[in-house]
Structure 1
Amino acid sequence: MTTPVPHRKLIEVSLPLEEINAESAAEKAVPRKGHPATMHLWWAPRPLAAARAVLFAQLVDDPSSHPDRFPPGEAEKAERERLHGIIRELVKWDEINNEGLYARARAEILASTGGNPPAILDPFAGGGTIPLEAQRLGLEAHASDLNPVPTLKTKALIEIPPTFAGQPPVFPGAADSRLGDWPRGTGMAEDVRRYGALMRIRAEDRIGHLYPQATLPSGEKATVVAWIWARTVTCPNPACRIQMPLVRSWWLAKKKGKETYVSPEVVENASASESGGVRFHIRHDVAHAPSGVNEGTVGRQGARCFACQTAVDLKYVRAESRAKRMGAQLMATVAEGKRQRVYLEPTVEHVRAAHAASPDLAPLGSLPSAALGFRVQGYGMTEWSDLFSDRQLVALSTFSDLVSEMRAQVREDAMAAGFSSAPSKSDDGVTAEAYADAIATYLAMAVSKQVDWSSSLCSWINGHEKVRNTFPRHAMAMTWDYVEINVFSTSVGNFGAHLEWVSAGIDALPAGPRTGRVTQSDASTRDYRGLLIATDPPYYDNIGYSDLSDFFYVWLRRSLRSIHPDLFGTMLVPKAEELVANPYRHGGKQQAEKFFEDGFERVFGRARDSASPDYPITVFYAFKQAELEKEGVASTGWSTFLEGMIREGWTITATWPVRSERGGRMTSVGTNALASSIVLALRPRPETAAATDRTGFLAALHTELADALPKIREGAIAPADLRQTVLGPGMAVYSRYSRVLEADGSRMSVKTALALINATFDEIETEQDADVDADTRFCLDWFKSYGWATRPYGDAESLAVPLGVSVDGVARGGIITSGGGKVALIKPLDLDPRWDPTRDDRTSVWEATCHLARAYATEGREAAARLMAGLTGEGPGTSSGSKVSLDDVQRLALRLYELMETKDAATAGLFNGLGGAWADVAATAQSLPKVSVQEGFNFSEGDD
């Protein structure tokens, strides 16, 4: 009896990658209310679009698995395009609540899984994106993480909302605020808003006196947005000894027409409130701004005293800080004006209000002596409480303690609304206790968001006139002039805003019928039986999650320890088993990398023991930008990762480059920025897998790579991503064998296999060059030999004769210039924009590809689509039949990108753009009215 061959899944064959990448990048570009990432910070969250697309493609069959229904050729291709169309809709943020679309997606999943889809597990849940999107697709979602902070967030995303789906709010009178029902978690979201607003009122009653209003120049009172403070140390010059302000820039606002800066003045006999010798004035006269307004008084090279101009080494500043002799001086107050910020000079009243704060119980816990991304310990910040001003500590403590008060109020109101008074751990979980715990959890998340905007590491962004939070990147960096926001204002960073972000997130959560299951557990020891993995694991030393998350943990623990005792039973986040290559914890870089690699193999070795052969698992692998720039996709980390997966019994069946980071962000956050991720599909390799030698591997590689390439191209992949993508089917050949042997009997390494896959891809591309028309082959040969250079006519003739064409004939085709004994290729941007393929009697694939690339880059999608429609021979005024094969045009666009990438990056970019937009252009071409291309252009009389 033969074992049935598992169906190939769409992710193992073809994806509409460019649309996935484009939507992923757009999703991360601008924070959106309702997006789960905005409910609580977690570092490097996976875009919802990418997770959703990967999960769908992981479970849905590729049509090649059903040749009886979709014979190879056009039927198979059409069905694959239909599935791609569903993914293209699924990844759009604007379709996130399109229940009809998601019903179609769920139906496809059920059809491909026999009506019984596997439960999905992310053992490195992080921000909870993957289990949330699994739940949105109607799947049973499981998640775990060693770290209690992301575990809590994931519970808030997939465990709590389904339990209370459809419940109206219990806050007195809130249920009457709308007609109709309360779908999903909207009732719970309304309660979070209402109890959060009550919480804010009670907090203001207790500590509002610490946040006085400002007096505007007009004499009117205004709410303060923020107070900007300059850290100070005593000038080391014995003749000076003032409290010298440490300021990175004197600018407060740089918007045109609103320019504002601080003008410091040395005061001989300063009062105590002016802190020893410098007074700050607010100025708007840009023409007379001092030359040092941009630099301030401190930078990476050191500091200088504003009064005596003494250069001060940062070693001195650090020493003063560690000796607890660093102070702070109020530099400016930012108030709410009429549709603008108003900057005011410091006053005694506002200095005293800040100093009146007296924190009783600051959060306990010490910062690590050294950790990934930490820079503040060198400045004497050794306890978590050191990161906050006294007023910030009082405010955060007040809000944290109010969470338990609100919980008691919610419980009382829930019982009045008819909730059961049974313990929260009862069978269905729908009790007053459980509901109070749920609302308190979300309120604590809003307070935790407030923590990110309420530390002395927050700074003022003078270009946008707003606050930069503690974690604009995954590091804890020192700030010199810092910002205290007014938690009771209505401007950025206030508690009400954080409350709304959390509530809007709850509103938008799917809250389907399946309740997710979230546990705090170690991925290397947990049970994987009956679960299909889809995960985004940590990557080497990109982010020190556990150390950074203590920043939130110490506050969440204060609010939620009695509600989630299992999560918040320890003083700080567990760290010893965290799967991160932390050199500070493991005795150096090499030992840390070994710890990471060994741990990674243990996790996926354990998962392999119970893996089903019916479905591939999916794993996001995150590159560092610096790693890619140095070594490309053959990087040491990448090959080590693949070696480990193969050694633990996995066959790699696909590799898809998912790009979700904006270029500006990549360059702004340092060498650890995530420049790209690779999504891998992996299946368990049979224990009986045979070995092969290099010859057998290369033969299979050539055959299967040539077969895979057309299917990959169906997804309209950007040419820049093609070389990474073909590694998938290439590694599928390599990793399905128990081993590949070299001539000397040694095992072929992954690094060698990667090189051979790349070489084979180049061979196939060269072979396919011979399948196109002679004019195109002439241009390919010319470019390989001479690029865009002008050469003697004889060079052209020597290339043309073996191909059976004449140089004059190729020139008549409009793709080269020939005259005066000289010949050159015409660059795409120099081609005649009036070209009409319906009237061209000598259209080559080269000409068509270059014109399409030019039109898309310079005139847009519709212009390119009109040319494409003309190339297919459709519509009045066109000659019968296709002028060229569009499949050949698409392949040549990919090929030309490869050829030109290193020789002419600008021109290569034209073909990359066309290749990435291929599906969009093709769809537009099909939707155009059947008219000739000539009618699509408005030429004036007299044009020749």
Structure 2
Amino acid sequence: MTDIPRLIEHAFPLKQASLDSVHEKNVRHGHISTLHIWPARRPLAACRAALIATLLPDPGIPEKRKELCEKIGGKVVKKIERKKMPNGQIVEREKEVTEGGILHWGRETENKEVLDWFREEIKKAYGGRAPKVLDPFAGGGAIPLEAMRLGCEATSIDINPVAWFILKCTLEYPQKLAGKTWPLPEFILSNETFMREFFTKAKGYSKTETEKALERLGRKLKEGEQGTLNFKVTEDGSIEADLAWHVRAWGQWVLDHARKELAQYYPVYAELEPLKSTGGDAGSTKPYEKQPMRLVPLKEDGNPDIDALNKEFTKEYLADKRNPRWIVKPTVAYLWARTVKCKNCRATIPLLKTRWLCKKEKKRVLLTVEATSPSLSNTSGETPLLQYFDPNEPISNLSGNLPHWRQEGVTYFVTFRLADSMPQEKLRQWEEEREAWLKEHPEPHDEETRKEYYRLFPDRFQSWLDAGYGECLLARLELKEIVENALLNFQGDRYHLDEYVIMPNHVHVLVSPSGQKTLSNILQSWKSYTAHRINKHLERNGPVWQKESFDHIMRSPWQMERVRQYIRDNPKGKLQGKRRDDASTVMRRDVASTIVFGIDKDVPVKGSNTAQRRE
């Protein structure tokens, strides 16, 4: 095509493109925006209109330009829209919409013959071949997608790896893999909800056929027999599906694993009430006493286990819909806020812009905040106090490569490391170099010599410990959880944990033994239990932890606060040779005031004198 004026230089269906782009923002099902949220995503309607107007030559006649613009975007018409207001009043308003064209969502398929006409016209303008369209900043892929829809050879580029992956999934994979099928992964075959939808939507089965297919599939999975249902089954008995269903299957896998790991951070509550009355039960529910909401325990897969709350009721009791039972209540939203720590009581305080959850004319809900006093509660109900080194009290020293001072009732800073966190060749190198240096520099040492010694040996040794050597097993979530569960198992009973952090190859803990328990016994129980569990999980034997740990008695509140800050800052430090993103870290501080949150639904509503605010 020679360099002649294009349609977009003289005319463009701006009004139609704007109206249909606004409508497209409300589309959720089937739109590429549902694949991934992308900033400044261009509406498909606007991209389609801009591409057609750019690729087609200007006809040179105003009537022809108007005809082309209407063919692209249709005509703008006005219609009356009725909307119900919060006060119940019906309000009518005039709204502009488009009729015809191929810009409105869904009309590209409804008016397929018009879209085909534009494809042919674009080819004619380029000598009978499809033009090549390059988008060097493709982002979410709206422009190259519409170029492909118009029959062009589209090439898209983006420096952002997330955008690149979106482009692969939006433009390349559906085109290359269209019409191909593969066996569904085994894990999804036992998901009844997924397979029911698969049989209904992908295979077009009726309700009866779907139930038979599920029954047959269940037997096949249980017995391992070859099914004879009316869908493609490979020799190993796997059901085949296209790319879209594989994306759904693996999306379900991601969802299941995410739920398992994150469910603890999204609590679900239940209320005691009868099932909703239907039919003959209407108005016949039995009277019952209202009870506070209960936290629903979780199953191993992260789903709420409502049966655990209802196990106190018999089957006969639950069979009667009029009887109250615990029913899961959906959570409307989880509110997150940044927090700061009080310098005095060290309570965690949320930074909230407002405590109003709902502030409407007829409904107001307020988040209440109640602070408690600082405490260190344990299982006996006592409040232990942090104690520091007392030079007037007896002290003992355990033998080892490191000093291990012991004093009753004090708080210790403890570090224990994985067995491979210091490679043996590094350790031998350090010992040989240290021995040779000491021979060349006999004591006494002056200030400069001492500084050189600490730089070459203690400081370098510490840098090796922080370098992230070894397998860094604790970067794996499941192994980190084993260690965390061990630390918390006897919290408040045998000891009190102040703060701790679990790094990829070591653990820092501030701990105060309780009663007759000693630090040595506590460390032994932690190490032996976690070593057994980790080896069992990895299906291997051998040492997991270094035999000796570092421990230090806290001497003052000032030193305690420094160690606390060190523990908090540990994940922010530099791991040489390991990405800090790989560090599985957990921090906890129980030595603090707590803040209890509640919901106040009895906030006075404007114009009402009956509601009283709860104190």
- Whether the TM-score (by the shorter chain) exceeds 0.5 is no
Q: Which has the higher contact order (CA 8 A, sep 6+)?
A: 1
> TM-score band (shorter)?
0.3 to 0.5
More helix by share: 1
State the TM-score, normalizing by the size of structure 1: 0.26
State the TM-score, normalizing by the size of structure 2: 0.38
From the CA coordinates, give the structure whose radius of gyration is larger. Answer: 2
